[in-house]
Structure 1
Amino acid sequence: MTRYLISFNDGAMDHIPEGDWPDVGKASHAVMQEAVNAGVLVFGAGIERQQASVVATDGMVSDGPFPETKEVIGGFTVVDVASRAEALEWAARIAASCRCAQEVRELMPDPETDAMLHAAGRRW
C-alpha cells in the first residue's frame, strides 16, 4: 500500500455560503466514514488559518507562513491505498463533498519510521 496526501489550499472553501456549511460538514464526514469503512483513512484535518510558526534548525521560532507565500494548506487527508488511481478516486469524493479542488501527492515511504511505530503498537 502507498500513502497519499490529499490536500486543499487555505481559502479554497471561501466561496461556500454560510448557510451551506452544515451540509458541507455532513457530506465531508460521510466521505471520511467511507474511507474509515474501506480501511484507507490514515488521518485528516482542517488547519487553522494562518496559525503557523516556522522553527529553524537552530530552534529559533518565528511567525509564519512568510508574507510572500501565495498558498498554504487549508486541510488534508492521508490515505493508504493500493494505487495512485485509487488515491485520485478518494480525492474526487473529497472534492465533491468539500466543494473544492484537491491536490494529490504520494508520500515517500519510510520503513524505519514505520518499524518504530509498529514496535510502539501504533499505525502511521
Structure 2
Amino acid sequence: MTKYLISFPSDAMVFPEEDFQTVVEDSHAVIAEAKAAGVYVFGGGIDEAVDPVLVAGDGTVTEGTHPGHQVPNGGYAIFELPTRQAALEWAAKIAVACRCPQEVRQFGYDPAS
C-alpha cells in the first residue's frame, strides 16, 4: 500500500456563501466514507491565522518559510491506497465535495516509517 497526499490551496475553493454548510457536510461525508473503507490516514486544514516559522538545527526560530517557498495553506488528506488509480478516484470524490480540483502526490517508500 502506498500513501498519497490529496490537497488543495484555500483560494481554489470558490462557491457561493449559501453553499458553505453543504460543502462542509459533503466533505465530511467523503472523509467518513474513507475512514469506513480503512484508507484514511490523516487530514485537516492549515490554520492560516497562525504564521509559519522556520526552526534551525541550533533551535533558532525565524518567521516565515524557506526562501522562495510559498506558504502552504488549504486542505490536506493522506490516504493509504493500493493503486494510483484509487488515489485519483478518492481525489475526484473530494473535488466534488470541496467544489475544487485536488492535487495528488505520492509519498516515496520509506521502510522505516
Under a length normalisation based on structure 2, what TM-score does the superposition of the two structures give?
0.87
Which residue of structure 2 lines up, in the alignment, with residue 20 of structure 1?
A: 19
Which residue of structure 2 lines up, in the alignment, with residue 116 of structure 1?
A: none
1:75 aligns with 2:75: yes
Which AA in structure 2 matches 1:56? A
Larger deviation: 28-37 or 64-73?
A: 64-73
Question: Unaligned stretches of 5+ in structure 2?
Answer: none
Which residue of structure 2 lines up, in the alignment, with residue 119 of structure 1?
A: none
1:90 Cα deviation after fit: 0.3
Under a length normalisation based on structure 1, what TM-score does the superposition of the two structures give?
0.80
**Percent sequence identity over aligned pairs:** 48
Asked whether the 8 Å contact 2:46–2:72 carries over to 1, the reply is no
Asked whether the 8 Å contact 2:65–2:71 carries over to 1, the reply is no
Question: Unaligned stretches of 5+ in structure 1?
Answer: 114-124
Change (3 A) 1:17 1:62: farther
1:71 Cα deviation after fit: 5.9
Q: Report the Cα distance in structure 1 between the residues aligned to 2:84 and 2:78, rounded to whole angstroms.
A: 13
Which AA in structure 2 matches 1:97? A
Q: Report the Cα distance in structure 1 between the residues aligned to 2:54 and 2:10, rounded to whole angstroms.
A: 17
CA offsets per residue over residues 69-91 of structure 1, 9 Å max, x none? Answer: 55623110000000001001000
What is the total number of aligned residue pairs between the two structures? Answer: 112
Which residue of structure 2 lines up, in the alignment, with residue 100 of structure 1?
A: 100
Larger deviation: 35-44 or 61-70?
A: 61-70
Which AA in structure 2 matches 1:82? P
Structure 1 runs (4+) deviating above 3 angstroms are: 65-71
Which residue of structure 2 lines up, in the alignment, with residue 117 of structure 1?
A: none
CA offsets per residue over residues 57-110 of structure 1, 9 Å max, x none? Answer: 332212224686556231100000000010010001001100111111101222
